[in-house]
Amino acid sequence: MGWLLESLCHLENLQSLILRGSFDLVSWDFIGEGWTSPPRNLRRFDSSFGSFSYLPSWISPSNLRELSIIEINLDNLRQEDLDILGSFPSLQSLQLNGYKNIWDEKREQWPVISAGTFQCLRECQLSVLPTGRNMFAPGAMPKVHRLEFCCYIEDVFSLGLENLPSLQELRVWFREFTDGSVTREAYDKAEAAIRCAADSHPNRPTLVLDTVFHPSWCRNSGSP
């Protein structure tokens, strides 16, 4: 893949970069390690058909102040990564998925959307969120009008949606910790919690609920 990295290094005026790999998600780490001077006018970066182990150091506001669209998969998501992504002055659309590990080194804390971050963001799609904690701090994402994320049914408690003053559209995907672990009662409880959070928001955002699994009680009962 050295030829690709070498070619990228010569594209100084590049404004949009979309990387495509196999369906199984290739590793883009060779770009993360070797691309030290990305084009300063880059406005869109999409690597969603592959993944980085960690957020590359060159993805930072000091290098890419014009970046307005980011679509990226990370195997490991750290608090510092969210803070860096949240400090881009022109970022309006973020799709952040794929992460398998979002604990800190002591496995005591999940990363959160910090106050004052993502000030220009309007659309946000995130992978699994730990909804047992207030993920969205007051002052974060003040312009986000569309939010989409996954959460474990067993983990639906506090969302912090009330701290997103511009929210108009909300889509939530339910997941389960282990196959077949979710009961109808647990699903109904999680759904009620999400609906309550949406209904309590001043904007009454449009809500879409979906699942990324097929519970046995749905198949057996014929429920939708």
Do residues 135 and 129 lie in contact, with contact meaning Cβ atoms separated by under 8 Å? yes
The length of the chain is: 224
Note down the domain range covering 126: 2-221
Instruction: Give the pLDDT score at 109.
Output: 62
Q: How many CA atoms lie within 13 A of 208 on its CB side?
A: 10
173: left (phi over 0), alpha (psi -120 to 50) or beta: beta
Instruction: Give the pLDDT score at 123.
Output: 98
Helix (H, G, I), strand (E, B) or coil at 5: helix
Instruction: Give the pLDDT score at 209.
Output: 92
Instruction: Give the pLDDT score at 30.
Output: 82
CA-CA distance, 218 to 208, in Å (whole number)?
18
DSSP string, 115-159: TT--SS--EEEEEEE-TTS--B-TTSSTT--EEEEEEEGGG-S--
How many structural domains are present in the chain? 1
Residues of the chain short of pLDDT 70, as ranges, are 1-3, 5, 22-25, 100-109, 128-133, 155-157, 177-181, 213-224
Neighbouring-strand partners of residue 148: 125, 171
Instruction: Give the pLDDT score at 180.
Output: 64
Q: What is the pLDDT of residues 92-120, one digit of tens each?
A: 999 998 776 655 444 456 778 899 999 99
CA-CA distance, 203 to 205, in Å (whole number)?
5
Burial of 14 (0-12, 13-18, 19+ CB in 10 A): middle
Instruction: Give the pLDDT score at 220.
Output: 42
Own/partner long-range contacts of 191-197 (Cβ < 8 Å, ≥24 apart): 193/156, 193/157, 194/156, 194/159, 197/159, 197/161, 197/162
CA-CA distance, 35 to 25, in Å (whole number)?
20
For the domain that residue 142 is a member of, what is the CATH number?
3.80.10
